[in-house]
Amino acid sequence: MSDRLPAAIATTAERPNRGRPTAQPGVTEGTAMNLPPERDMRAAVAARDAAYDGRFYYGVVTTGVFCRPSCAARAARPENLRFFADHDSARAAGFRACKRCKPTLAASQRDILVRTARYIEAHADETLTLARLGSHAGLSASRLQRSFRKAFGVSPKAYQDACRLRQFKAALRGGDAVTGAIFSAGFGSTSRIYGESSRNIGMTPAAYRSGGAGETIAWACRPTALGPLMMAATVRGVCFVQFGDDADDLARQLQAEFPKAEIVRSAAADSPQLDAWLGALDRHISDGQPRPDLPLDLRGTAFQVRVWRFLLSVGEGEVVSYGEVAAAIERPQAVRAVASACAANRIGVLIPCHRVLRSDGTIGGYRWGAERKRTLLDNERLRRAGRK
């Protein structure tokens, strides 16, 4: 018995072929179950939703071609669409590959990666090692890591974290208690959702109150698409990322934040790491490259650090309200305090306080100006849409 089932869904009553391809009639129930619901496929084609690429293909009776859901070709009339689970089935029904979206190009690997992403979504609350994912995909762990990041712009771990965050937010909106929502989303403990397991972050309030006494803080500054940007770091990690009018203005701000520390300008020869970090952040802001995952030296009150740690779990293209943050850290009445903690954040972009909006969805305040906040959010939405 063949392991390939007929894969076309007839979406309208069949008409005489008249030389054009048509869908195969008599689709089995098992085949239909391998495809998304027809209404979802039609919506994906109408929206050119790349998230459905690899999950199905559609043919157009009037042109005789089949395409990916994200194809940018002129939209076809709904009654002329036919749907297929793979490109071989589309060809068997008489359709040829679209020259614009090239639906057969690297289809096997793309389908493997899409199936892996669906597997992560279905098992987001479990421990998913690269070895387990590689075994499921039929790839080595290292190859899966490279291919997944190249295809989707994030690692499998980051993708799983984003899925967990969506589950967590959905549980909160559904009325679950915060602790229950955290565990049901697969974080395992309240500390996991605040990012403690993956970053070297946080200092004691006493260390912060000391004004940096006895410490050396190196800084570097460069222009970016959003204006002059300064980054400063201690031996523990980045402690200061801020926009300003110019380097002198930013240097004064840094000195005011850490009045008792020794502030030194970084020269690439002496501190190449800091310059590399700043360069990576500049490429993220100015050129849309991935946001660098750098060690952070957080300094603030216990409440502020708790807010900032939670913000580290909010993925690119995602937004939360001040109320959702308050609920997530088990302080649902502290909405104003959350807003104040966001305003006090001195590590811009790396701690993404720009992803926090008012409850009505409006931009709200931002320490470095609403226009910068809007630009950061718009750019992140575009990058996320481009990866789908």
Rg (alpha carbons) of the chain, rounded to whole number: 25
**Cβ-based neighbour number of residue 236 at 10 Å:** 17
Average pLDDT of 194-209?
Answer: 43
Which is nearest to 352 in space by CA: 372, 337, 332, 333?
372
Q: Does domain 194-388 have CATH number 1.10.420.10?
A: no
| Domains in the chain: boundaries | 29-105, 108-186, 194-388
332 token code pair: 């649902």
Confidence of residue 192 (pLDDT cuts 50, 70, 90): very low
Decide whether 108-186 matches 194-388 in CATH topology.
yes
pLDDT digits (tens, 9 = 90+) for 148-159: 877 666 678 877
pTM equals: 0.49
Q: What is the pLDDT of residue 171?
A: 59
Single-letter amino acid, residue 11: T
Fold of 29-105: DNA Methylphosphotriester Repair Domain (3.40.10)
Where are the extended beta strands (E) located within the chain? 57-60, 65-67, 81-84, 96-97, 216-224, 227-233, 238-243, 262-265, 320-321, 356-357
Q: What is the pLDDT of residue 210?
A: 60
Q: What is the pLDDT of residue 241?
A: 95
Indicate if the pLDDT at residue 256 is higher than 50: yes
pLDDT digits (tens, 9 = 90+) for 327-350: 888 888 899 999 999 999 999 999
Q: Which of 20-24, 91-95, 168-172 has the lowest mean pLDDT?
A: 20-24
Q: What is the pLDDT of residue 211?
A: 64
Confidence of residue 287 (pLDDT cuts 50, 70, 90): confident
Indicate if the pLDDT at residue 209 is higher than 50: yes
The strand pairing partners of 216, in sequence order, are: 262
- The CATH code for residues 108-186 is 1.10.10.60
- Active-site positions? 67, 353
Q: What is the pLDDT of residue 175?
A: 54
Indicate if the pLDDT at residue 286 is higher than 80: yes
Indicate if the pLDDT at residue 351 is higher than 90: yes
Better-predicted residue by pLDDT, 125 or 63? 63
